[in-house]
Structure 1
Amino acid sequence: MKLLMGEINTLNVLRETDIAYVLGDENTEVFLHKREATKELEAGESIDVFLYFDSERRVTATMQKPTVTKDIPAFLNVVDKNFHLGVFLDMGLNKDLLLSRDDLPPLKSEWPEKDDKLFVKIKVSKNQLSAKIVARYDIEQYLTPEKELEEGETVEVYNVFHADEGNVFFTLEGHYIFVYHKLMRNKYRLGEKTEVKIIKNKGDFRYNGTLIMQKELMIDEDAKRVLEYINKKGGVMDITDKSSAVEIQAVFNMSKSAFKRAVGNLYKQKIVSLAPGEVKLIKDIENSN
């Protein structure tokens, strides 16, 4: 009998012991602990079980249905993180699924946090099941949204890939949304949830989106970002409208024009003063956030 690890198998009940049922045939035996059985079983009965490796790397069975298998991927919640091992995902069983550190971004700050979601399937290796991230272009093979998104609509999404020009986000239903870096104000972890505004429908459930508000509403948010930086610098910063666009982008992740609007907003509210080579805090608005 060939056992399919990380998948649902149909096996016969051979006998019952004090703590488990023994499944399989005359050549192969698999243990199903009674706590993993969803009902009482009889010898000769045929049942569907998921096969995995226990903590001692032994083949074991459960009648509980996992939310992901070797062939059927899904969005799984991150439940724990270990920088030496990777992140652990809730697969709907008593045993969590490990996504190895080798399959995570080099920067620890980009690793998923608890309750982030990753679209994965099961990878089977010797005596171990682990998670494998589904490539962004393959997700659409498994998820088909029921309806199109409307331009101007705001939707909940999860970050699945960081590209050279921007980030790829997906809804849980399978909408593919690309956001250019110039339309973002923050960096996003793998699996992090956020809300994206749809700005263009490209067809086939693919879209372009934005993570910043329209210009007149964004000024306050940009001003807060600049104010936070000034406070961190002790109330004075040497980045001004004379600084290069490259430096401004590196520090604030915004364009030079957005930076000038933000500083102008703080100046009009008499929060900062402007002098050659510096912007200085003159009003404490620590509660403005």
Structure 2
Amino acid sequence: MNVKLGKYNQLKVVKEVDFGVYLDGDDDGEILLPARYVPDGCKPDDVLNVFIYLDNEERLIATTLQPLVQVGEFACLEVAWVNEFGAFLNWGLMKDLFVPFREQKMKMQQGRKYVIHAHIDEDSYRIVGSAKVERYLSKEHPDYHQGQEVNILIWQKTDLGFKAIVENKFSGLLYQNEIFQPVETGMQLRAYVKQVREDGKIDLALQQDGVKKVEDFSEVLLKYIKDNDGFTPLNDKSAAEEIYSAFGVSKKTFKKAVGDLYKKRLIVLEEGGIRLA
């Protein structure tokens, strides 16, 4: 098959019809792009970037809509409806994404969201989803270095913290005692690699470790004080929740930044807060 099912394809327009245009799918034949998705001024020989999936009659069809997940990717999607065969998730297209019961870890419920992996079913050749995420995570050893910034999808709450999918490929973990912001399943966040363990699992943090993080936040804190008439009532005795609410950092990071600014004689520590020097 030349056309990549469940992914974007660059295909040439071969002819126009009343109900849309046909695209050149090479060995897969001509593929319809329905009229509602045809760009203005589109004509034969134009090359369009389209997503290819299957219509209700299992025929290849094109769309210019942007799906919430492509084949080979993970996403958190909401269940639109359920029947005797499985669940159907809203992935941004006219036809919902099917998750058969055998691919569900627990029976999916309408209106709830679940993290799934999209793939092509070998038996039916349909695009389906699976909530059995572990099966589709890479077994390769990640080649990340400490402090490297990565994209993560929050996948599952555990006793230790939150499991996360790193760069749509690897398994990672955020430790509960190192999380200083609201986190829940389905969130897409930026994180930092703390270490890659021998088993290939990745320990993650939502804030940078070390000097760079403190230096970056020192600048933020100094600007905040300047912008607030040279004073903030927050200090090292303030509650961690108050500090996080104001700055989105841990109390530990806040105290280090205060110490950094104090050593540089940029601030004065007072009983009721911090004042610009």
Deviations 1:4-24 (A, max 9, x none): xx99xxxxxxxxxx779xxxx
* 1:280 and 2:252 matched: no
Aligned counterparts of 1:161 and 1:173: Cα–Cα separation in 2: 11
TM-score relative to the length of structure 2: 0.51
Q: How does 1:257-268 map to 2 (within 5 A)?
A: 257-268=252-263
Residue 186 to residue 225, structure 1, CA distance change in 2 (3 Å): farther
* 1:35 and 2:22 matched: yes
8 Å Cα contact 1:37/1:63 also seen in 2: no
Q: How does 1:244-263 map to 2 (within 5 A)?
A: 244-263=239-258
2:195 alignment counterpart: 199
1:108 alignment counterpart: none
What amino acid does structure 2 have at the position aligned with 1:208? Answer: D
Residue 238 to residue 96, structure 1, CA distance change in 2 (3 Å): farther
User: How much has 1:151 moved relative to structure 2?
Assistant: 6.3
Aligned counterparts of 1:244 and 1:63: Cα–Cα separation in 2: 56
- Secondary structure at the aligned position of 1:35 is classed as strand
User: How much has 1:144 moved relative to structure 2?
Assistant: 2.7
Give aligned-pair identity as a percent.
17
Aligned counterparts of 2:233 and 2:192: Cα–Cα separation in 1: 33
8 Å Cα contact 2:191/2:205 also seen in 1: no
8 Å Cα contact 2:194/2:202 also seen in 1: yes
2:146 alignment counterpart: 152
* Structure 1 residue ranges without an equivalent (≥5): 1-5, 8-17, 21-32, 42-48, 54-58, 66-71, 79-86, 106-117, 123-128, 283-289
* Structure 2 residue ranges without an equivalent (≥5): 7-16, 32-51, 64-69, 77-88, 99-109, 120-125
Residue 145 to residue 247, structure 1, CA distance change in 2 (3 Å): same
8 Å Cα contact 1:50/1:63 also seen in 2: yes
Deviations 1:192-239 (A, max 9, x none): 353532425162x32322343333332212323434554564542211
8 Å Cα contact 1:272/1:280 also seen in 2: yes
* 1:51 and 2:54 matched: yes
- Secondary structure at the aligned position of 2:274 is classed as strand
8 Å Cα contact 1:177/1:208 also seen in 2: yes
Deviations 1:254-288 (A, max 9, x none): 44343222112222334333221121235xxxxxx
8 Å Cα contact 1:149/1:198 also seen in 2: no
Deviations 1:57-95 (A, max 9, x none): xx5732669xxxxxx9532799xxxxxxxx98578xxx6
8 Å Cα contact 1:73/1:142 also seen in 2: no
Residue 276 to residue 147, structure 1, CA distance change in 2 (3 Å): closer
User: How much has 1:187 moved relative to structure 2?
Assistant: 5.9
Deviations 1:130-172 (A, max 9, x none): 996x54xx22212333334466373633223363764433234
Root mean square deviation of aligned Cα: 4.9
Q: How does 1:71-220 map to 2 (within 5 A)?
A: 74-75=72-73, 102-103=111-112, 119-121=116-118, 135=131, 138-149=132-143, 152=146, 154=148, 156-161=150-155, 163=157, 166-172=161-167, 174-183=169-178, 190=186, 192=188, 194-201=190-197, 203=199, 205-220=200-215
- Secondary structure at the aligned position of 1:262 is classed as helix
How many corresponding residue pairs?
A: 204
